[in-house]
Structure 1
Amino acid sequence: MPSIVAPFVQRGMRPLFRVALCSQLIWPMLAFAYTPYDEMVLDARAGHYTPALTALRQVPPGQATTSQISDHLQIASWAGLDAEVIKVYETQGRALDLPIAALTATARAYRNQKRWDDASRVYNKALAIEPDNQELKLGLALTQADSSKPDQAVTSARALVAAQPNDVSRRMALGYALNRAGKQYDSLFEYDQAFVRSGNDPQVAREYVGAMQRAHLPEPALRLARQRPGLIDPVTIRHLEGDLAAERVRLAEMPTRSESERYVIADRALADYDKLISTWSSDPQAHDDVIRWRIDRMGALKARSRTAEVISEHHKLQAEGVEVPTYAQRWVAASYLDQREPEIATDMYREILLKPDADPSNRLLDTTALYYALLESGEAAEARTVAEELAKTQKPRVELKGLPGGNPNDEWMDAQQLAAQAGTYSSDLPHGEERLQALVEQAPGNVSLRVAQADLYLARGWPRLAESKLKEAEAMAPRDVNLEIAQGHTATDLQEWRQVDALTDDVVARSPDNRQVQRLQRQREVHDMFELRVEAFGGKTYGGDDDNVGAVNGSKDFGIETVLYSPPIGEDWRVFAGAGYAEGDFQEGTGTHDFQRVGLERRTRDLTLEAEISNHSYGFGSKQGARLAFAHDINDYWQYGASLEYFAAATPLRALNSDITANGGSGFIRWRANESREWKFALSPSHFSDGNDRVEALLTGREGIYTAPNVQVDLGLEVGASHNSLSEDVPYYNPKSDLSVLPMVSVNHMLYQRYETRWSQQFQAGAGTYTQKYHSTGGMALLGYGQRYSWNDVVEVGGMLSAINRPYDGERETDLRLMVDLTFRF
């Protein structure tokens, strides 16, 4: 962060060398050889300069002696009349052999007037007379420090200190030279040494306070100033108090063991600023300081996560016409990003990065913030470009003097990590995985890289692999907040609910205002809610037999089903209850089906179980049913499952309309390579109450063929086959055997995405064949369009309108169908 401490006002070193002027005034007993003049000289030494200067000014220039000119130079110097000293020297004394005291006074006058070359020339003239005069050497060194030769001044002053290390004036002269050379901490050391040797001297203590302030150590400087009332003027005290508050702002932005520790520091800074502002707001002379404190106070508010107040104060300052400096604009931009206004944050970070006074050391942080602002604005492609450009600008190693190979550059690693992670959010997961793996191999001890790698594995659907990587990182930094957040998300995917609770509780206690922590907490809250699922469908069939009635669904059909799940009980269990209704128009008449069900669900690591009982009313009384189902994850790639049903839910409504029920079961095995490749095979036997035995097989798969930040295109395949033991004299569609092959293309397009709100549209198109025994093979075609919307993790709704044209028993039908689903958590 750029320094927000006002530079300490440079103090002159004049008091150090006034003693050099206290030499005897030896005037020849000519025009002023009488007692009143002697008294005027004594008065001048005591600080009453006017009588002596008046007398000396009355001496005609051409008649003044060397001694008179020397006295004039010295007394005018005591009076602080530098311009008069220079005038007398240049008009009367330049060609004379003046004594050392007069030359010293003249050199100092030139220095005070910032005429460095003239001052150096006079000091060198004096040193030619007395080459070992230490006071002259000090004066020359200070002049060099004030001019454009601070390095020469440091060299000269060091030689003087080496000759007499305990001489306080030499230590202070060296400290002054070092400060002018921009070496504030080396300067502080010399002032500290002077203070150790002569701390009771007010001038030494005053310069020591200034050195501490210039070295950004306001707390000890203020403590010393308060121990000695009157040592420092009230304005400087005020500046020191502001500097101390600013230092606490900087400390509050640094990493600590917990958010609470940072908050303690930030709260101290806020208390300091509130006291300063209330004390000095009414003082017009403190106006600039008050504005500075209000600006710096935004940093404490930002560290305290009171980002709405940061934005409010920024608006007030803008309304007052205050130009907010770049370092404070960074706090404002971060606050907008925290308040979920990424578009404003994006514009601000762009401006900040182009500011000529922007601190280069903040470039990585500001560019990273710009990346996330773009990402949260929905500009994933542009965000990736920013990350890639940043990665190109960083060098892998930092070149250091005396170290030929240099040192590894942490900023290069951070930039490379950001670029690799950008692939995750721009749907280029394979490339991101490859880059992160290469970085982990280069820096196996980097916990941040391990966490990023685990997040990518989680995005690819590999929670167990993510878990193992996080366990490796846990050995290096078991209490890292970002690590625990990643472990919490991984545990959620693995249905390790007790781990989720333990990890979430820990990070919430340590970092309650961390947005990622809040996100994990929100996901747990949603998991602990009631869950309502609603599915509805409706269809209309065109074509078919002579009565224009569809062979499977009838001429038109409608259905709705709702299921309500309870919050988790004992972490793993949920009870559920539901009801539904379906109807369809067939040749035999309108069929209806009312059903209710209640059951129990258990979700644990690798296993999901469901058991339910149901009641069915379909025009022939009521009948009870039951279902038992499970799904087991073998690893991140393989899953299998099975179910058994008494009164199977998949019994065709047309069969129920003729009082024919079915019992059955199913089994499946699924292979999921990653987010864009998946295949599943299911086998479902069933037995109908009319004696028919049916076996159905279904193979489905998809392959991702194109991905972009807002578009995903999959090539899918659906192959279905069935066999029935009865094929004639049954009222429902029951081919002896059939086979359907339907390749299709699916497109998912994200229309809008902002945090937990998403809106997308889906397209489907397919063309294949349908083969039925005793009938010729016919073509199949599918078109579909749908949309989905989700909000705040608790609402998700979607709908799909599809049309499929295919033959049944040799008769071609077109089935127009609308399906809607809703999930609501509360």
Structure 2
Amino acid sequence: MLSKTPLSFLASQLFQRRLPMGGCLAVLLLGSTWAQAAEDYDQLVREARAGNYQPALQRLRQNPDDLAHLDDHLVIAGWAGLDEEVLQTYQRHPQARLSGGAWAAVARAYRNLKRWPQALEAYRRGLAAHPGDPALQQGQAMTLVDAGRGPEALQKAAALVAAAPRDAERRLALAYVHQQMGEPYAALFQVDQARQLAPQHSRVLGEYVDALQAAGLPRQALAFGERHPGVLSAAQQRSLQADRVAELVRLAEVSPLRDSERFVVADRAIAEADRLLAQWAGDPAAAQEVRRVRIDRLGGLYARARMAEVVEEYQRLHAEGVELPPYALRWVAGASLYQRQPELAAELYRQVIASENAKDSDWMDDHQGLFYALVESERLDELPTLADGLVAQQPVRLHPPGMGVAVPNDDWLEARLLQANGRLYRNDLPATQRDYERLVASAPDNSRLRTGLASTYLSRGWPRRAEDQLKIAESTDPRGVALETEQGMVARELQEWRQLDLLADDVIQRFPEQLQAQRLDYLRQVHHMAELRISAYGGHANGGEVNGSRDLGFDSVLYSPPIADHWRLFGGAGYATGDFEEGTGHYRWQRVGTEWTGRDTTLEAEVSHNDYGDGDKLGLRLSGVHDIDDQWQYGWSAARLSRETPLRALNSGIRADRLDGFLRWRQSEQREWRLAYAPSHFSDGNMRHELALTGSQRFYSSPYLVADLGLEVSGSRNSKSEDVPYFNPKSDLLLLPSLNLEHTLYRRYQTRWTQQGQLGAGSYSQQHHGTGAVGLIGYGQRLSLDDRFDAGLALSAVSRPYDGDRELDYRLVFDLSYRF
């Protein structure tokens, strides 16, 4: 209680003591002076109550040992927030008898300085001297929770409210305890009760705004503050506005029920952020809120799939020295991955993961992001350690508290999927297949697992198996973007062009921002482009029995864009020349035709003009390739004036009509066999029969190197073997095992640069000329770009006998396919 000495007290003392007149005058004069001084002091106290603390404090500091005004000094210094001065003044007189207000000031000073034991001791002593003092009781409860003694604080605060439920201050104290114990909604309830009890009390209104903000309700807090002018300071209003942007960003990350509405909240968040940033531009006081809103705006841009802007704004913030919190780094990492900057994404995901633990809700998502950042940056050697470690950390089932049964652990499933996909990206397709088939068997209704299995089947060259799996998955998730995208990929492989267009149209219209939808749409666009194919060769041989000592040729064909889904027109031209004993041969041809493609079938028909030897000739060709299933395929071709006719024969005016047929069995990328038979009828009466069996068996696979064993067994028989101007053995047989290597030199998304090596050693037997060794060595490189350009160049050398004479043939081969 602050000191006061009324003038009426002095007057009564004068008359009661009946002093002489002179003495009375002297006393009255002295009393008047003293009363004037007291009145001046009272004025200083009133000013202190109004917030002008310094005049009163200056007066009190002149006599710090004045016990009569000790309470005043402690209380006013406490009002001024001078905690150190409060404690220094109190410690000069630790045994002084203090009022309840003074004890509250001392205890509050200790509490403000986080000296919890001393604060609690001050509250204890104050309550011992002033039992039932509400300020001391409330302060004690709040200090207990500050000191980490939450249950005890809650018990005391709840008892205070129970004793006087209509006391707003007691409810505020209980609200504080709830808030410090991490119970914002319980705190909000108590503050709301206090607001109803004291609806005009400015402190209560301010506490209500704070409680709304702490409960994650910035919109309501802001609206309430705007309805009650003076409750919000400018800084608090900016803080709530920034909180509102953050709330919108969080809501933008929640998928709405309808796909068409998924960007509504994100657009609102970005618009509000832009409005506030424009409003606060140039205001130094708003610097902290500007930084907050800029960071949260990244989340709005990320939810809106404006990924380039996310990365650009991050770069600006980074240049300004702004450190982003982990949740914002997560947005930037995802945007970087989207923007094909996987190295940056991996670095950021590692920073995010370092700041969290396995109990965080985004922990597995962040590891998934890191996994795919490693995949896209071609750091494939790191995948097994990451995926296997995640699987090892996760139990298959969880035992939530209060539940008597175990539940499946979603994080374990996500880790197993990463493990399976890691094997896929490391080119271990058999292991990937086994993983997915086991997962599907354990959860047959999971459409995501079946879609993954279908993707694996498609990678192994089994589109029909993939189609079956996707049909099953369709029953549980008929319009999932991942499902439809994979169905589109299968339709493309099966040449179901109408289905491809429908699926690509649907996913790109519904999800134009999703990369998988963009990928399918792009591949569909590539299919609808024109295509140019070119092949060329050049060779040099020391004998030139078959192709000439020097030979050169090229063939080109241009296909139109697809017409009515299935048809393409084409036209092309080619040329071949070679040097032979009887002279140099020349062969020119031009051709036009049409191609029809549909499910399981490709057909071509062409008419050609052929210029060789002794004149112009008309050529015709029909061909077809038919898939029986995912493993069996057969094809055929019938040609009048076949371009497979040896150039040496054409140079002598001899043409050939030819039939071709083949049967292929392809188990997977691991194993394949092909049997081909081709009879040819030459215009000189010769009948040639050719039979060839070729196969390959993969024996080594790694992310960047595959090795196959190859085998070619081929032979021919000719009805006429003498007196012909071209190589025409009565019968022959070639046996040629080989080792074939393919090494990836560079890979970046759809860009791939590889090199190939080939070594072969076998034998060649020719009737009447015995058997001789055959040696083969070859090297080539191949470049693929953007699904539209593919070209290869290869150099080979073959040593083998012809008619008993050994020839060494060097050959350079080039081929190119380009869509535009």
TM category, shorter: 0.7 to 0.9
Cα drift, residue 334 of structure 1? 3.2
Q: 2:797 & 2:61 partners in 1: Cα distance?
A: 114
- Asked if 1:668 corresponds to 2:630, the answer is no
Q: 1:810 & 1:591 partners in 2: Cα distance?
A: 24
1:704 is aligned, of 692, 698, 707, to 698
1:805 is aligned, of 799, 808, 812, to 799
Does the CA-based 8 Å contact 2:750-2:785 persist in structure 1? yes
Quick one: higher RCO (CA 8 Å, sep 6+), 1 or 2? 1
Q: 1:502 & 1:396 partners in 2: Cα distance?
A: 39
Q: 1:146 & 1:236 partners in 2: Cα distance?
A: 24
Does the CA-based 8 Å contact 1:631-1:642 persist in structure 2? yes
Task: Give the match for residue 26 of structure 2.
Answer: none
Instruction: Mark the CA change 1:127 to 1:765 in structure 2 (over 3 Å): closer, same or farther.
Output: same
Amino acid at match of 2:549: S
Task: Give the match for residue 16 of structure 1.
Answer: none
Amino acid at match of 1:223: A
Q: Secondary structure at the match of 2:263?
A: helix
1:770 is aligned, of 754, 764, 786, to 764
Amino acid at match of 1:757: T
Does the CA-based 8 Å contact 1:716-1:745 persist in structure 2? yes
Amino acid at match of 2:585: G
Task: Give the match for residue 222 of structure 2.
Answer: 222
Cα drift, residue 783 of structure 1? 0.8
**Structure 1 stretch 780-789 or stretch 370-379: which is displaced more?**
370-379
- Asked if 1:748 corresponds to 2:709, the answer is no
Does the CA-based 8 Å contact 2:613-2:652 persist in structure 1? no
Does the CA-based 8 Å contact 1:258-1:510 persist in structure 2? no
**Structure 1 stretch 721-730 or stretch 86-95: which is displaced more?**
86-95
Cα drift, residue 303 of structure 1? 3.0
- Asked if 1:378 corresponds to 2:378, the answer is yes
Q: Secondary structure at the match of 1:659?
A: coil
Task: Give the match for residue 512 of structure 1.
Answer: 512
Q: Secondary structure at the match of 2:545?
A: coil
1:641 is aligned, of 632, 635, 638, to 635
Residue deviations 1:421-479, cap 9 Å, x none?
A: 01111111111121222223333343332222222111111111112222222222222
Does the CA-based 8 Å contact 1:628-1:643 persist in structure 2? yes
Cα drift, residue 767 of structure 1? 0.8
Q: 2:66 & 2:247 partners in 1: Cα distance?
A: 61
Q: 2:740 & 2:392 partners in 1: Cα distance?
A: 36
Does the CA-based 8 Å contact 2:175-2:186 persist in structure 1? yes
Q: 1:99 & 1:63 partners in 2: Cα distance?
A: 12
Task: Give the match for residue 248 of structure 1.
Answer: 248
Instruction: Mark the CA change 1:162 to 1:408 in structure 2 (over 3 Å): closer, same or farther.
Output: farther
**Structure 1 stretch 723-732 or stretch 159-168: which is displaced more?**
159-168
Residue deviations 1:300-354, cap 9 Å, x none?
A: 3333333333333333333333334443333333333333233333334344444
Task: Give the match for residue 10 of structure 1.
Answer: none
**Structure 1 stretch 459-468 or stretch 195-204: which is displaced more?**
195-204
Where do 5+ consecutive residues of structure 1 fail to align?
A: 1-20, 544-549
Q: Secondary structure at the match of 1:777?
A: strand
Task: Give the match for residue 555 of structure 2.
Answer: 561
Q: Secondary structure at the match of 2:770?
A: coil
Cα drift, residue 33 of structure 1? 7.9
Task: Give the match for residue 151 of structure 2.
Answer: 151
Does the CA-based 8 Å contact 1:748-1:763 persist in structure 2? yes
Task: Give the match for residue 808 of structure 2.
Answer: 814
Summarize the alignment of residues 114-263 of structure 1 with structure 2, pairs less than 5 Å apart. Answer: 114-125=114-125, 137-161=137-161, 168-195=168-195, 199=199, 201-256=201-256, 261-263=261-263
Instruction: Mark the CA change 1:69 to 1:726 in structure 2 (over 3 Å): closer, same or farther.
Output: closer
Cα drift, residue 674 of structure 1? 1.0
Q: 2:11 & 2:403 partners in 1: Cα distance?
A: 71
Instruction: Mark the CA change 1:248 to 1:105 in structure 2 (over 3 Å): closer, same or farther.
Output: closer
Does the CA-based 8 Å contact 2:48-2:76 persist in structure 1? no
Amino acid at match of 2:429: L
Residue deviations 1:370-424, cap 9 Å, x none?
A: 3222222222223443333333333434453334655433222212211210111
Task: Give the match for residue 779 of structure 2.
Answer: 785
Does the CA-based 8 Å contact 1:717-1:742 persist in structure 2? yes
Instruction: Mark the CA change 1:702 to 1:81 in structure 2 (over 3 Å): closer, same or farther.
Output: closer
Q: Secondary structure at the match of 2:475?
A: helix
Residue deviations 1:157-200, cap 9 Å, x none?
A: 33444566665444332221121123334433433444466555
Q: Secondary structure at the match of 1:599?
A: strand
Task: Give the match for residue 437 of structure 1.
Answer: 437
Cα drift, residue 765 of structure 1? 0.7
Task: Give the match for residue 625 of structure 1.
Answer: 619
Does the CA-based 8 Å contact 1:566-1:575 persist in structure 2? yes
Task: Give the match for residue 659 of structure 1.
Answer: 653
Summarize the alignment of residues 31-430 of structure 1 with structure 2, pairs less than 5 Å apart. Answer: 94=95, 107-108=107-108, 110-111=110-111, 114-125=114-125, 137-161=137-161, 168-195=168-195, 199=199, 201-256=201-256, 261-354=261-354, 360-403=360-403, 406-430=406-430
Task: Give the match for residue 453 of structure 1.
Answer: 453
Instruction: Mark the CA change 1:734 to 1:213 in structure 2 (over 3 Å): closer, same or farther.
Output: same
Q: 1:340 & 1:75 partners in 2: Cα distance?
A: 63
Where do 5+ consecutive residues of structure 2 fail to align?
A: 14-30
Residue deviations 1:93-133, cap 9 Å, x none?
A: 8475x776765566556545654334433544565688777
Q: 2:152 & 2:786 partners in 1: Cα distance?
A: 67
Does the CA-based 8 Å contact 2:530-2:559 persist in structure 1? yes
Does the CA-based 8 Å contact 1:371-1:384 persist in structure 2? no
Instruction: Mark the CA change 1:362 to 1:52 in structure 2 (over 3 Å): closer, same or farther.
Output: closer
Task: Give the match for residue 529 of structure 1.
Answer: 529
Cα drift, residue 513 of structure 1? 2.1
Q: 1:309 & 1:319 partners in 2: Cα distance?
A: 15
Q: Secondary structure at the match of 2:340?
A: coil
**Structure 1 stretch 428-437 or stretch 522-531: which is displaced more?**
428-437
Instruction: Mark the CA change 1:388 to 1:584 in structure 2 (over 3 Å): closer, same or farther.
Output: same
Q: Secondary structure at the match of 2:606?
A: strand
Amino acid at match of 2:319: A
Amino acid at match of 1:714: D
Q: Secondary structure at the match of 2:365?
A: helix
Residue deviations 1:483-517, cap 9 Å, x none?
A: 22212111111111112111111111122122222
Normalising by structure 2, what TM-score?
0.88
Does the CA-based 8 Å contact 1:642-1:665 persist in structure 2? yes
Q: 1:770 & 1:63 partners in 2: Cα distance?
A: 122
Q: Percent identity, aligned pairs only?
A: 48
Aligned length: 794
Q: 2:803 & 2:83 partners in 1: Cα distance?
A: 117
Instruction: Mark the CA change 1:195 to 1:63 in structure 2 (over 3 Å): closer, same or farther.
Output: closer
Amino acid at match of 1:718: E
Does the CA-based 8 Å contact 2:508-2:518 persist in structure 1? yes
Instruction: Mark the CA change 1:357 to 1:435 in structure 2 (over 3 Å): closer, same or farther.
Output: closer
Instruction: Mark the CA change 1:158 to 1:682 in structure 2 (over 3 Å): closer, same or farther.
Output: farther
RMSD of aligned C-alpha atoms?
A: 3.5
Cα drift, residue 75 of structure 1? 8.1
Task: Give the match for residue 9 of structure 1.
Answer: none
Residue deviations 1:502-546, cap 9 Å, x none?
A: 111111112212222222121111111000101111211214xxx
Summarize the alignment of residues 462-611 of structure 1 with structure 2, pairs less than 5 Å apart. Answer: 462-543=462-543, 550-611=544-605
Amino acid at match of 1:249: V
- Asked if 1:722 corresponds to 2:716, the answer is yes
Instruction: Mark the CA change 1:596 to 1:514 in structure 2 (over 3 Å): closer, same or farther.
Output: same
Q: 2:293 & 2:43 partners in 1: Cα distance?
A: 48
Amino acid at match of 2:561: P
